[in-house]
Amino acid sequence: MAGKKAVRCVGVLTGGGDCPGLNAVIRSVTKTLLYDHGATVYGIYDGYAGLVEHRYERLDGPDVSNILTRGGTILGSSNKANPFAYFPPQKIGGKHEPPHDASARAKALYRKLKLDALVCIGGDGTMAIADGLIRRCGMNVVGVPKTIDNDLPQTDYTFGFMTAVQTATEAIDRLHSTAGSHHRVMVAEVMGRYAGWLALYAGAASGADVILIPEIPYDMAVVAAYVKDRYRRGKRFSIVCVAEGAKPRGGTMTVERVVADSPDPIRLGGIGHKVAREIEDLTGLESRATVLGYVQRGGTPCAFDRTLATAYGHHATELVCGRRFGRLVVMRRGRITSVPIQSIAGRVKKVPRNYPLLRAAQAVNTCFGR
Amino acid sequence: MAGKKAVRCVGVLTGGGDCPGLNAVIRSVTKTLLYDHGATVYGIYDGYAGLVEHRYERLDGPDVSNILTRGGTILGSSNKANPFAYFPPQKIGGKHEPPHDASARAKALYRKLKLDALVCIGGDGTMAIADGLIRRCGMNVVGVPKTIDNDLPQTDYTFGFMTAVQTATEAIDRLHSTAGSHHRVMVAEVMGRYAGWLALYAGAASGADVILIPEIPYDMAVVAAYVKDRYRRGKRFSIVCVAEGAKPRGGTMTVERVVADSPDPIRLGGIGHKVAREIEDLTGLESRATVLGYVQRGGTPCAFDRTLATAYGHHATELVCGRRFGRLVVMRRGRITSVPIQSIAGRVKKVPRNYPLLRAAQAVNTCFGR
Amino acid sequence: MAGKKAVRCVGVLTGGGDCPGLNAVIRSVTKTLLYDHGATVYGIYDGYAGLVEHRYERLDGPDVSNILTRGGTILGSSNKANPFAYFPPQKIGGKHEPPHDASARAKALYRKLKLDALVCIGGDGTMAIADGLIRRCGMNVVGVPKTIDNDLPQTDYTFGFMTAVQTATEAIDRLHSTAGSHHRVMVAEVMGRYAGWLALYAGAASGADVILIPEIPYDMAVVAAYVKDRYRRGKRFSIVCVAEGAKPRGGTMTVERVVADSPDPIRLGGIGHKVAREIEDLTGLESRATVLGYVQRGGTPCAFDRTLATAYGHHATELVCGRRFGRLVVMRRGRITSVPIQSIAGRVKKVPRNYPLLRAAQAVNTCFGR
Amino acid sequence: MAGKKAVRCVGVLTGGGDCPGLNAVIRSVTKTLLYDHGATVYGIYDGYAGLVEHRYERLDGPDVSNILTRGGTILGSSNKANPFAYFPPQKIGGKHEPPHDASARAKALYRKLKLDALVCIGGDGTMAIADGLIRRCGMNVVGVPKTIDNDLPQTDYTFGFMTAVQTATEAIDRLHSTAGSHHRVMVAEVMGRYAGWLALYAGAASGADVILIPEIPYDMAVVAAYVKDRYRRGKRFSIVCVAEGAKPRGGTMTVERVVADSPDPIRLGGIGHKVAREIEDLTGLESRATVLGYVQRGGTPCAFDRTLATAYGHHATELVCGRRFGRLVVMRRGRITSVPIQSIAGRVKKVPRNYPLLRAAQAVNTCFGR
């Protein structure tokens, strides 16, 4: 780092949906900057909302003590705040105002705090805005990717994913009791609107008999025939793990329709109940659905995610202190490295057909609806 | 036991919904009869269905090894089988036949196996049928009560309840992360159609801000005012724990309406989503619901339930060997004892207004919607 | 409460060893006093040490938010601090000074803060000192009992116990894998110096083959014969759950000797290793010991303990506000009530020979070494 | 696979210590061979012991149902059985006989069952013997690596490791309660005789203040100064995570000495208690040790390990069916592939000084005793 301008002051924020491991990244970034670089760290509240509204706090060691094990984010987050199309905070009972460009306010805070860089932790939406802050506002930004769904391109894993897999796996383990005792078909709907990573991992880990993912549009006749065949072989129950975004062959993606109609598609919990009903209709076997929902997002991160998030946070700090701005931390082929932030824009990483775990699940006779 | 006819042969069956601890009772009953009394034990499959259809197996030590920790029941269960109004098993694709009285078949098996007694593990439906077997078929029956909902009268606790409380509590702990990070109202719908035990315990254990139970019809205006007041005091999130059977003041019990319309009320997950929508409408705060569903019924029993089920099974065996038939094992005032089976018929144990945990929850400022 | 002097100001402290649920009591006491009674609450740090050293803080709502789920105590504790025989805090590297009577300092703080009462949460040591504060200093005290070991007299259960049972049960469940795979005898040493509650509950809950408790001095020849007999019946592994204070028949209590030699008997982990070695010597089967140790004291309380601690805290506040001083909250025959604090002095609640769970464990053929 | 001789019959065995995920490999290998290849599968009992003693069973679908979630191995294992230096099974009370070469017996079973290949799941000891079976007996062998310690060369991860990390992390999370409440130093001794992977991962995941690993001989003066400095900054407790094989700078490896003296070094639990005593002596702060022991080896595998073991088992089957014998399944740079079995012989994979998680832990100010 010889010859490079030392980093003195860094901001950090978390955007997008809740995810186990966010606090571990905040802790890792903050402690590394404080103890290893003697820098000052500001936590920006509620993602880009705090950047526009100048809500922040200086973070010291005690602020990030005891947060490694906590789910959520101590900084708060915002799903919707966008400095370039900013909705002013709505008062209770007040009406919505139209959005406007508030990026000058964001830039003003960046200057006021004399930030050398901003660490943005979030998903594709957060990174798209980060890209705007770089290009249009001249900020120095380093990104840390986050998604429960593991569908961000360029990276093998994102933290939070394995915790969600573990939570969903434990839930499906529980459903096994009821399925076996009552000779029922139990359907578990897990997250994953555009990619089936979570359904594949949790399904394979819990020994689900059927796994339905967006990448493989399913044929319900195939599913029903498989369930009936199990019944004939004396297995009077079946476990089905279905991704939120799974869709029938030839059908349109259910969840996209739902998105258009509703601000909260999870609320409708469509696909799990639909699949259960259809299996019951086609097989005559009692079928029940459980939508795992928000439980998958919360709770203490598993050990894997705590270490991954700690390593991600550390690498982000190295990028910041090496003044390698505009980059996103990723894990590629088992190593932590980085790619340009804009390289993930608008793309989704889907489960490839030859993915080893997919092939292994097929080999042990799991039905994917085809 | 001097002078009493020794017990040589006992049947055991599990009826009604899945519940953690059923296997622990089966193990306790079987091992005690085998090792302590040298008796023979037959496991009847799928509740009263196996009794009518003569499906059973002799249970030896190895059959009940390693089942203490397993959820569900190794004997299978049946929600609907009733010897006095018996539906023949439906073939896949076949049509329903009308029910008929098959109690003679049940009695025939009882005689064929030379049973001295039958241990029936189940809820109020199972016990109502057990009462019929006693009165109308002259069988010797001892009952062991089971209900996730803890709403059986005459007993402080039933096994399975505390496991469901623990599972629901851990799920609500997870929702806290998301609620806190996103400043949202998170609603968790737990089981409990007629009584609020599970909602009260899980809500109190997880520090829910609002708990809605069937015993206290709620006023949504009170709930909304409470949530808004929290917001004003800087608490930008709230956790609501609502029992499946909670109902608004002056309203009809939602779940009863649902029952009339559908064979599977849980599928509709009505009340949780309804409450979330109403809170959002009244407060303007983002609100989301999660229906915990079948996950609450499954999985390994917690240590408390394993010990309770073991003690229940042992006491049932003592009743059998003491030839004290027609009795139901219960825990009253902290002690394991028994009551007549028919004494629980058609009654529901509701949470009393002066229940200590209810009063404690009110004292720490939990809102019950009144 | 008409006519009674209102309670305006209450202190709360935690003494003795760490125990899951302490924070739940602190939260319940504080919130009830704040919200239900409009009183002021002071938290005294590090048990009686803070009382003497005038270290305390006023507790408001936010101080006790989010502590329900946390193990340990936010107030800190002290195993040894005694106002009547007070050791001044030792400086790092400094030498011990002799103890003196510092109860006047304790009384001075009580007066300075204008306390109406002090809520002392702790075990028998804490209650013995509380009794001294009542008799010798004229303080108003209400006690809340706490012990992992569940060996306090006058109460069915104390909070923390069931969490320790659950933790120990899960650990023994894990040992089952290794025992079964390697055909080994696995010995788990759990807490319980003077009483075998934890060993009995965790042993029964995990299906341990042998349970050794202080109340039933064991005969190692009986244990070895039992293990060999299992082996002959094809069960090539055995699980032994032994209480820290278990002792051989005719032998002296191991742990008492250890106490004399060492300030930290757990460190030596005597009995578990001793039992494993003897079983290996007598049977020729590979035997291994695991000392569960401090892991049993920590972590988030289970749901049962969170509700029990909340109800205990609430009842303590009712005693305080009803000016029923000098009493200890207890659960008797399933109900929360109270007894005089001095009634527990110097006594240990042991497992009675006819305790239902003990008899149930014996009936399913568990060996108790006799 | 065109032109290749089809695989008709495969044996599978598990050798060495217990490890979560063994059953998941057995299930994956068996189901893939049965359903995907129509082959016959024989499970050999107790590792190489069963191979010599001709103890085995044909495995069908139901034999491997419901084992995915179970710890241990349904086939049993043996730490010591070696066909080339075989100890006959010792009778209870009998004396040891000298070892002899029994490889002809092993070969005889291989021929009798008409095995096309043998899948050996185990650690370096198991693979060294597998290498002998290939070279000296002409068997076709495919290896699947297994080690809790993650110290096998040529592979990024082995299944079982992440479960052990998770178990150790949860235990250390629990110790935090006690450490914080009592202002103590809590030392957790985890597995890892020759490499510090488990201590590094569990220590980083639980936010341990001090991590001691074999790769970095520690200076106790540095550790004590660090702990005292924390105390001065107001952090009155510290958490130390120490690998079984950690050793002081300039000192000899404690565990190696122990190995020479004893067949069971874990029994002595040396290093954890030694470190606790030294810290207490040097700082005057109360220090306590917990040896996590065998609990780390057992229990249901975490979701990560279940998927990894499933994918490993599937790849092993592909090697078998592709007749690529003599190879060991590994994960390299995030991909599942294989290396020659003999390439891991006698080597240990140690934590490199520039390992990202090690550097991240150092950056957040964790003390490694240097």
Q: Does the structure show a pLDDT above 60 at D208? A: yes
Across the interface, whether the CB atoms of A178 and B285 are under 8 A apart is answered no
Once rounded to an integer, what is the mean pLDDT over residues D180-195? 93
Question: What pLDDT does residue C231 have?
Answer: 92
E strands present in chain D: 9-14, 40-44, 56-58, 117-122, 141-145, 185-190, 210-212, 238-243, 287-291, 327-332, 335-340
Among A295, A300, A305, pick the best mutation site for testing chain B contact (most B Cβ within 10 A). A295
Q: What is the mean pLDDT of chain C?
A: 91
| Same fold? C9-158+301-332, C165-297+352-363 | yes
Shortest Cα–Cα distance, D135 to chain C (Å):
28
Across the interface, whether the CB atoms of C69 and B363 are under 8 A apart is answered no
Across the interface, whether the CB atoms of B357 and C311 are under 8 A apart is answered yes
**Catalytic pick among B46, B116, B131, B149:** B149
Across the interface, whether the CB atoms of B181 and A90 are under 8 A apart is answered no
Chain D interface includes C190 (CB < 8 A)? no
Protein fold of A164-296+352-363: Rossmann fold (3.40.50)
**Nearest CB neighbour to C273, from listed D180, D267, D283:** D267
**Domain coordinates of chain A in residue numbers?**
9-158+301-332, 164-296+352-363
Q: How many C-beta neighbours within 10 Å does residue C315 have?
A: 25
Once rounded to an integer, what is the mean pLDDT over residues C293-310? 95
What does each C-alpha distance from D56 to D11, D46, D52, D74, D111 come to in angstroms? 9, 9, 10, 12, 14
CATH, domain D9-158+301-332, list 3.30.70.2740, 3.40.50.450, 3.90.1150.10, 3.90.45.10:
3.40.50.450
The answer to which of A209-218, C178-187, C216-225, D331-340 has the lowest mean pLDDT is: C178-187
Chain C interface includes D126 (CB < 8 A)? no
Question: What pLDDT does residue C20 have?
Answer: 96
Question: What pLDDT does residue C260 have?
Answer: 34
CA dist., res. D265 & res. D258, Å (int): 6
Q: Does the structure show a pLDDT above 70 at D2? A: no
Once rounded to an integer, what is the mean pLDDT over residues C203-219? 97
Q: Does the structure show a pLDDT above 70 at A254? A: no
State the pTM of this model.
0.94
In the stretch 218-277 of chain B, residues with CB closer than 8 A to chain C read 233, 235
Classified as helix, coil or strand, D281 is helix
Across the C:D interface, residue pairs with CB atoms under 8 Å apart total 148
The angle subtended at Cα A111 by Cα A106 and Cα A115, nearest 5°, is 100
**Catalytic pick among C18, C46, C131, C149:** C149
Tokens of A219: 């044929």
Type of residue at C3: G
Give start and end residues of each alpha helix (H) in B3-149.
Answer: 22-31, 37, 48-53, 103-112, 124-137
CA dist., res. A168 & res. D348, Å (int): 35
Across the interface, whether the CB atoms of D28 and A357 are under 8 A apart is answered no
Higher-pLDDT residue of B117, A99: B117
Among C126, C173, C230, C295, pick the best mutation site for testing chain D contact (most D Cβ within 10 A). C295
Chain B interface includes C317 (CB < 8 A)? yes
Shortest Cα–Cα distance, B184 to chain A (Å):
11
pLDDT in tens, C89-146: 766 555 667 889 999 999 999 999 999 999 999 999 999 999 999 999 999 999 999 9
pLDDT in tens, B43-86: 999 999 999 999 999 999 999 998 999 999 999 998 789 999 99
The answer to which of A173-182, B147-156, B182-191, B328-337 has the lowest mean pLDDT is: A173-182
pLDDT in tens, C29-41: 999 999 999 999 9
| Dihedral (Cα; D134, D139, D140, D145), 10-degree rounding | -50
Of B186, B184, B151, B193, the residue nearest B172 (C-alpha): B186
Question: What pLDDT does residue B91 have?
Answer: 60
Chain D interface includes A32 (CB < 8 A)? yes
Q: Enumerate residues 6+ apart whose C-beta is below 8 A from C16.
A: C47, C77, C79, C122, C123, C125, C126, C146
Question: What pLDDT does residue A286 have?
Answer: 92
Q: Enumerate residues 6+ apart whose C-beta is below 8 A from B354.
A: none
Percent of the residues in chain A that have a pLDDT greater than 70, as a whole number: 92
Q: Residue B218 carries which DSSP code?
A: B
Q: Does the structure show a pLDDT above 90 at D194? A: yes
**Nearest CB neighbour to B284, from listed A73, A92, A231:** A92
Question: What pLDDT does residue C62 have?
Answer: 93
Chains with 3 or more CB pairs closer than 8 angstroms to A? B, D
Question: What pLDDT does residue B258 have?
Answer: 38
Question: What pLDDT does residue C91 have?
Answer: 60
Please tell me which of A79-88, B86-95, D359-368 the model is most confident about, judged by mean pLDDT.
D359-368
Instruction: Let me know if D350 is exposed, middle or buried by CB neighbors in 10 A (0-12, 13-18, 19+).
Output: middle
In the stretch 40-99 of chain B, residues with CB closer than 8 A to chain A read 46, 70-73, 76-79, 90-94
Once rounded to an integer, what is the mean pLDDT over residues C228-256? 84
Q: What is the mean pLDDT of chain B?
A: 91
Which residue in chain C has the smallest CA separation from D225?
A: C92
Question: What pLDDT does residue D178 have?
Answer: 82
Q: With bands split at pLDDT 50, 70 and 90, how would you rate the model's confidence at A92?
A: low
pLDDT in tens, C46-105: 999 999 999 999 999 999 998 999 999 999 998 789 999 998 876 655 566 788 999 999
CATH for B166-296+352-363 is 3.40.50.460
Q: Does the structure show a pLDDT above 90 at A319? A: yes
Does the ipTM exceed 0.85? yes
CATH for D165-297+352-363 is 3.40.50.460
Tokens of C127: 């209650």
